[in-house]
Structure 1
């Protein structure tokens, strides 16, 4: 068969990559819509800026309090953005500043008990939406989806490290599944 009529493996893979990118864009859009955030806040009984949620989630998942610069790096945003969000979260009682044991002049941030409860409430709402949306999927399909998603994220993180993005936390990398 002449080359122009044959489909190469890389061409097939390129088509799958295009489909995957589209699917991921759709998922990202669905998960980050303002209306979805507002609905989640109502269900949780919380009042929180949409930009504060990933920041608070990152802090809740951290093994120890974090510096603002580290938060900015991990979220790939400018430091002033993180400072403003931390001030809002602190005012709302979701985070607190603590002394940095390595540098007395610096401070770190950690979630308060209220902040940890808020993250769990948000996660429970999101998990409920996922349970409802995927209720007709088999347990095996859900497991496969989770395994493949973790594998994909790990591959993205490995690639990011190659190009110099070291923002991933150990916990983010610790989700590898067989």
Structure 2
């Protein structure tokens, strides 16, 4: 859709956009609350701070170890923040540093087997909570919400690429 049509569509559906933004803010809040994180860690039997989880998930989903700068860019955070989190994850045995094959002076970071298991444990807990909360939803509704959410994220990623946002990119998209 050309930019002017997209702008016009957003203006026409401004009320829907407001409600969508509110719903997304509520979801983000619910998924990132400290109590939820703490309960998930207890249920998983893990000790990991909240900021480490998305970082470890990103590493576990990557095809290969990543440089710290790329991690910071993809997570849209400052490099020192990533460096501190990587040190914590490394100390806990969840990640390891490896030589960068493209630059002898640089290092990349990848998950250990323990880190991969930790990510899967967190995902399993979160999926369980979602399944409980959505137990009375029909399979069709669940599929529709999943499809529409992927479509929305893809649109956000496309827009981010248009405006030059170097954070999440199309390669972060799940395979169909």
Q: Same fold (TM over 0.5)?
A: yes
Which residue is 1:117 aligned to? 117
Structure 1 residue runs of 4+, over 4 Å off? 8-12
Larger radius of gyration: 1
SS for the counterpart of 2:164 is coil
| Secondary structure class of the residue paired with 2:165 | coil
Partner of residue 65, structure 1:
65
Match of 2:161 in 1: 161
CA RMSD of aligned residues (A): 1.5
Unaligned runs of 5+ in 1: 1-7
**TM-score of the two chains, using structure 1 as the length reference:** 0.91
In 2, the alpha carbon distance for the partners of 1:9 and 1:94 equals: 45
Residue 172 of structure 1 deviates from its aligned partner by: 2.0
Match of 1:84 in 2: 84
Tell me the equivalent position of 1:98: 98
Q: Where does structure 2 lack aligned partners over 5 or more consecutive residues?
A: 1-7
Is the 1:59–1:111 contact (alpha carbons within 8 Å) kept by the matching residues of 2? yes
Contact 2:46 2:118 in 1 (8 A): yes
Pair 17,114 (structure 1): closer, same or farther in 2 beyond 3 Å: same
- SS of the residue corresponding to residue 27 of structure 1 reads helix
